[in-house]
Amino acid sequence: MLKGSSYEEIYENFRWDIPEKLNIGVEICDKWAQDKYRIALIHVDRDSQVSKYSYWELKNLSNRFANTLSDLGVAREDRVAVLLPNMPETLISHIAIYKTGAILLPLLTLFGPMAIEYRLQSSGAKILITDNENLPKVLEVRESLPDLEVLIVVNGEKNRDKQADILDFWEAQEKGDRHFDVVDTGSEDPALIIYTSGTTGPPKGALHGHKLLPSETSNLGFNLDLFPQPGDLLWTHCDWAYVAGSFAALYPTLNNGLSLVNYERGGRFDPDEAFRIISEHGVTVIFAIASALRIMMENVESPSQKYDLSELRSIAVGGETMGHDLLEWGRQELGVELNENYGLTECDYSICNCSSVMEIREGSMGRAIPGHVVEIIDDSGNVLPPETYGQIAIRKPNPSIFIGYWNDPEATRARFIGDWICTGDYATKDVDGYFWFTGRQDDIIESGGYRIGPGEIEAALKKHGSVADAAAIGITDAIKGQVVKAFVTVKSGVVADKHLADELREHVRNKLEAHAYPKEIEFLDELPVGNTGKVMKQELRRGEREKAAADSKGKKS
C-alpha cells in the first residue's frame, strides 16, 4: 500500500484497496493460523509470568468461544460487551465476537457502575464478558439492564452459587467446537461501538464497520516509519477498549501477522516496568499516548543507560501535543524521532508524522496520512487557504470514518458538512501541508476580541524549564469576556510559588502575544487526565464554574 521514497510519492501512489467481503476476526487471526508456530501475543501477567499464544491457538480458542456465543443466541449485529483489562481472554473474545457477525462493545475497566450502566442500556448489549474484579460494578446495576441476558466471567465458577446467569469463561469456551463457520460479513457491515464523551450531553456510541481494519493498518504503517519492517515487535500501553489500543495498535499488528507484547498491569502505569518490557523483549516499535511517555521521561533517569533500548526504531505518539522537551527526550534518550499523530474516535486517525520520509517540524501534528483528504474548512464547508485558522475536516469517502452514532441519526448528520466530517478541532495548515493544532472548538478562548488557542499557550509553558505539564482554559472576565487561566504541574524539586507564576506569565508574554499570556496560574500536583491520555479540560472548567458559583453565593449572603 505504501509505495515510494518520499511523502509526496507515497501520497500520490496511494489507493485504498478495501475488499467487499471482510471479517476482522479472520483478518487478525485465521489467515495466519496455517503457520502453527507463528506467535501473535506475548503476554506478561501481573506476576511477570510470560505466556505466548500462536495464531493457531487463537483461531481454535476463538472458534470455540464463537460457538459458545452462538449457542447462547448471539446473532449478526447483536451487541456483545467486553469489560476486561488487556489479557488473552480479551483478545479471544474480540476475535470470536467478530466471527459471529455481532457488534463488539468494548468497555474500560476504569468505568464505574453508572458509566457501565449507560453504555449497556444505550447499546442494548445481550452478553457481557468480564472478570471477578469488575463483576461487582455490573451486579450493582444489573436490575436496570433488561437486554443483558448472560454474564460470562473469567474465573466465574466463584460466582456460580450467587447468580444463575453467570457462566465461567473457560468452561463455556471448552464446550464449543474448534471449528466455526465464520459469518459472511461485508466491509461496510457494523463491527464495533465505542462510546465517546463530549463536553455536553451523554456519551455517544460511534459505530464503525469492518472496513476500519485495513484503514488503520495503513495508518499505523505510515506513522511507524513504514511498519512493518523485518523483525518488528510492537508494544503499547493503550487499553484495547479504546480505538487507540485496538484498531490503532493491536489489530494492525495482528493483521500483518506479527507479534505484540502485552503487559497486564494491575494498577497505575509503572514507567520502569514499561522500560523493562521494552528492553527484555527487544521491542522495535511503540504506540503510546504522550502523557505516558512524559511519565516515563519524568520518572526514569537515563533510561538508555539503565535498559537496552537498542532495538527501538520508531514510536507513534497521540493523545496530545508533545512539546519540545518530550521530542528532544525521544531523540537524546531513546534515539528515535517521536512521530506525533492526530485522530478522533469517529475517524481515527488522519494526520501524523513519518520521520523516515518527511521532516519533523516541532509543534506540528504532521501531514495528511496517505489515503486521507484533510483540510481546514470554514463553517460553510469551504476549504480555507494556507495559514488560515479554521476547523480540521476529513473528506468522504474514507474507510476510517464511522458509520454513524448508535441510534442517533440527528447527531450523526450534525457531524458533517457535505462530504466533510467535522472534527471540532481547530488548526492552521501551512503551505507545505503541515497542520498546527490550536484547540478544541469548546477550548477556544475569546478575550477582548481575540480568539486564543490554548495549544500555543500550553506549548509555550512547556518550554519553560520548570514546567512538567500545562493546560489552559478561558475563565469569565467582566471586561474582556474571558481571560486565560493556566493549570501547571512543575518538575521534581521546583518550588511552585508566586515568583514562579510571575516568571511563567512573562515567559508566555515573550513567547506569544501580550494578550495571550495567562492572567491566572494555578499549580496542581497533577492534571486531570482521561482514559485516552488527554487532559480533561471540561473538569478544569467545571471546577472554575463551581468556584465562581460559590463566590457569588458568598457575596450575596
Is residue 464 assigned to a domain?
Answer: yes
Domain limits for position 154: 54-208
> Pick the residue with more confidence: 510 or 508?
508
> CB-based burial of residue 66 (10 Å sphere; 0-12 exposed, 13-18 middle, 19+ buried)?
buried
Question: Which single residue is written with the C-alpha cell 511517555?
Answer: 293
- Residue 516 corresponds to which cell in the numbers above? 495571550
pLDDT of 508: 86
pLDDT of 199: 42
Q: What share of the chain is helix, strand, coil (3-state, %, to 5)?
A: 35, 25, 40
Task: Tell me which DSSP letter residue 142 carries.
Answer: G
Among the candidates 160, 192, 208, a domain finishes at: 208
Nearest residue to 84 via CA among 48, 10, 39, 138: 138
User: Which CATH number characterizes residue 116's domain?
Assistant: 3.40.50.980
pLDDT of 163: 63
Q: What is the mean pLDDT of residues 522-545?
A: 86
pLDDT of 200: 46
| pLDDT tens digits for range 307-348 | 999 999 999 998 777 888 899 999 999 999 999 999 989 998
Q: What is the mean pLDDT of residues 260-285?
A: 92
| pLDDT tens digits for range 5-31 | 899 999 999 999 999 999 999 999 999
Is residue 353 assigned to a domain?
Answer: no
pLDDT of 370: 97
Is residue 106 assigned to a domain?
Answer: yes
- Percent of the chain scoring above 90 in pLDDT: 73
pLDDT of 405: 97
pLDDT of 266: 72
Which amino acid is it at 99?
K
pLDDT band for position 512 (50/70/90)?
A: low
Is residue 134 assigned to a domain?
Answer: yes
pLDDT > 80? residue 273: yes
Is residue 172 assigned to a domain?
Answer: yes
Average pLDDT, the chain: 91
| pLDDT tens digits for range 158-182 | 655 556 689 999 999 888 899 999 9
Among the candidates 164, 182, 208, a domain finishes at: 208
Among the candidates 208, 241, 256, a domain finishes at: 208
385 vs 390: CA distance, rounded Å: 10
The total number of structural domains in the chain stands at: 2
pLDDT of 212: 97
pLDDT band for position 412 (50/70/90)?
A: very high
Question: Which single residue is written with the C-alpha cell 500555543?
Answer: 456
Range name among 474-483, 507-516, 520-529 with the lowest pLDDT average: 507-516
**312-326, 441-455, 523-537 — most confident range:** 312-326
User: Which CATH number characterizes residue 477's domain?
Assistant: 3.30.300.30
Is residue 305 assigned to a domain?
Answer: no
pLDDT > 60? residue 557: no
| pLDDT tens digits for range 186-212 | 999 999 999 986 544 578 999 999 999
171 vs 460: CA distance, rounded Å: 56
435 vs 386: CA distance, rounded Å: 10
pLDDT band for position 555 (50/70/90)?
A: low
CB atoms within 10 A of CB 336: 18
260 vs 232: CA distance, rounded Å: 9
| pLDDT tens digits for range 224-249 | 999 999 999 999 999 999 888 999 99
Is residue 306 assigned to a domain?
Answer: no
Q: Which helix (DSSP H) or strand (DSSP E) does residue 288 occupy?
A: strand 285-289
| pLDDT tens digits for range 343-368 | 989 998 899 999 999 999 998 999 99
pLDDT > 60? residue 275: yes
Is residue 371 assigned to a domain?
Answer: no
